[in-house]
Structure 1
Amino acid sequence: MREIAVQVDNLSKMYRIGARKQRYVTLRERIAAKVTSLFGCQEVAGATNTMWALKDVSFGVKQGEVVGIIGRNGAGKSTLLKLLSRITAPTHGRIEINGRVSSLLEVGTGFSAELTGRENVYLNGTILGMKRAEVTRKFDEIVAFAGVEQFIDTPVKRYSSGMYLRLAFAVAAHLQPEILIVDEVLAVGDADFQKKCLGKMEGVADQGRTIFFVSHNMHAITRLCKRVIYLEDGQLRLDGSPHDVVKTYLHSGLGTMAIREWLDPVKAPKSDVARLWAVRVKAEDGQCTDNIDIRKPVGIEIEYEVLKPGCKFRGAIDVCNDEGVLLFIALEQDPEWRNRVRPPGRYRSTAWIPGNYLAEGTMIVNVAIDTVEPYEWQFKVRQAVAFHVTDTTDGDSARGDYAGEFPGLVRPLLKWDTLFGADSGR
């Protein structure tokens, strides 16, 4: 029987929010407050509030388990990982950890900006309790994985964010910790690097090491993890199989999400060159709806603003089902704009998904805008909108008049040719 790697009991973390002002108080105030010291510095009452980032969370993780942690922003995911990494202390509760922990919580966490990449690799190994010879044996593999051979003796403060991330992940994953903690590593970096990260984490898991993995990418969660913990408002809502937990998470709070708009430009997703204003699900007649007949096309409209001249832009969507399985990715291919610079102003780009293509169920849409030359993501919005696809047994969809279970990730209505007798060529 495997031993416990991490045991968490009634874990809680409280933060104080709001400014805590200080001022010198008068003798009258001191006497009135019955304070013994006549002069000194006193905090102004009522200047602070408290917020529970985690509240009474308990679970145990065995050695070799790969555990995903999901939840919306502010649910307590990062706080939990910081507690597990011993970056911060709990307000209440207990954590028992058996084994050395390596964490990648933010880009470059644990790196010293003034040190070179080489020096930071050895520094992190020392922090993990490894001997220099152990780190040396892994050094070339770390540098090759990160792809920073030419810059390994350059101070990391001169690294790009991508180089920082690649080296930080390579160090965390290759220095053979018993417990690896990774927070949103797939949110940064290109597709090839994300694929390498997933592959490496699968390799670490195959070695029997324990992994905690936080991500908003449900496809990655279901691919890598054998167990998922769902946090909501600082509390543990569900702990179980990836299929069940991810499905519950994706359905929670979705309701009607055919329209997602940002009326305040400060809060809208944006970069230096573009800002997102809205994402809408549209029926064939142009009306916004969250309920789509399986036989009808559905449009995903992205409304955005180009802020800077001289750039070529492209919209992108990917569609997942309610189990977090990626169905497809689509990049904007409008021939009128594909190779043209888009002048500043507002645009609406709509991707039309044909009828008789999607299966029944809830579809979750992630959207993004990127520049083509140079290729760079401007922003990504996960779970931007959602809609429900319904089917009937009227006979004019892929299921025909069959009323039983009809599995499959998609449900295309295919063209069939049937020949009989002499016409069949036999």
Structure 2
Amino acid sequence: MEILTSDFLNVRSEVEVWHLIKTWILAERKVRQKYLRNLLQTIRFAHLNYEECRAIVNDELVKGEISDEHQIVFEICTKQRIPRDIIIACFGWHGKQPSSAVEAFDVFTYTWRKSVCMEIGHKVAYHACVVIGLKMYIAGGYDGDTFFNDFRCYDAERMKWLEMAPMHNARCYVAGCELNGRVFVCGGSDGHERLKSAEIYDTEKNQWTQLRDMHFARSDAAACTMNGRVYVVGGFNGDFVLQSVEMYIPDSDLWIEIATMNTPRSGLACVVDRDSIVIAGGFDGSARLSSVERLRSSSSYTVMLPPMPSARSNFGMCKYGDIIYVVGGYAKGVTSSVLQFDGYRWSEISALNIARSATKAVVLRAWPNPERIVSDGQNGSGRIVRTEHSKSGRESEMNEDDSGNRRSYFTRIFRGVF
């Protein structure tokens, strides 16, 4: 019971909680049926849509125990759980200037909230963002005047930003990723030229080491790590948009050109998906792109995936569970649009509160005090319950703090179930 009632229980869906309860009871039904009523109260019905609620309430186990809609509405728990892992959209370009905004995405309520505790003292865009353990690192970027070689770290345990050793090169439009517990950055622009240099940061020594140069200078590229090697995709060399993919082998400090994309791309993003890299969006030199490609680890060519519903460049991209998220970017202007991809189709979800391009999206995994990260600093939780409660899929909103409305809200749901 203590685990199931925890606000921090990490489940993909409350349906999983129900399946666990049902399996446990059926294992010794005669002995355990009496616990059903209390166990039902551990399910957060606010996270379930109409069909999911109906499936639980109409289950033979439940129908034999509870026959009155008002009884179950009175007893159900509508309090939201707090996600263990949180998607962060950090900084970027808003309007005509860079932004210091950090927003956190609550995967349970599908809402973005300003994360006041993670905001930084200065504004930056076109930076790299890498999360290693309980630290989030910001490398380089641009504030409208200065091309930075700055390197900063947000320490989750101390809940503060720290200045770390600067990079060897100033880097705007920089690509970065984690490599064997260290921060890897490459390419970008120092304000004078596009760069082919790369460097790596030792988190224990607070020290940068220069690496072998890439084959091509690249700004506006994307980078990710797969199987202990770094893949750098696309970019702009100052004259034309690149189509090539380079791979860095750390053991030999060696770069190899391994693949060619179907489309040249700068201002793109990429993310590792099992044994492949998903490459999306960008700019081909004449237009923003909605197309998406997949590069498998053993292949030298890409295959096309379903395109995004809207073209964009300079956006954030990350993977949470089995879902890929695309955050913000630039289309006909700076956008707040957020997309998700389940491997088969794209769909639009809740937008950012602040439209931004040149932003980064990362996942904070099992950080302490997640409730602080998803708080906007206002009094009370102020979190919104969003539940599809009709067969048409129409959404309703309800402030979690309003317990009276909460009960009447779920009475309306369950009246259609019984």
Same topology, TM > 0.5: no
Structure with bigger helix share is 1
Structure having the higher Rg: 1
Q: Higher relative contact order at CA 8 Å, sep ≥6: structure 1 or structure 2?
A: 2
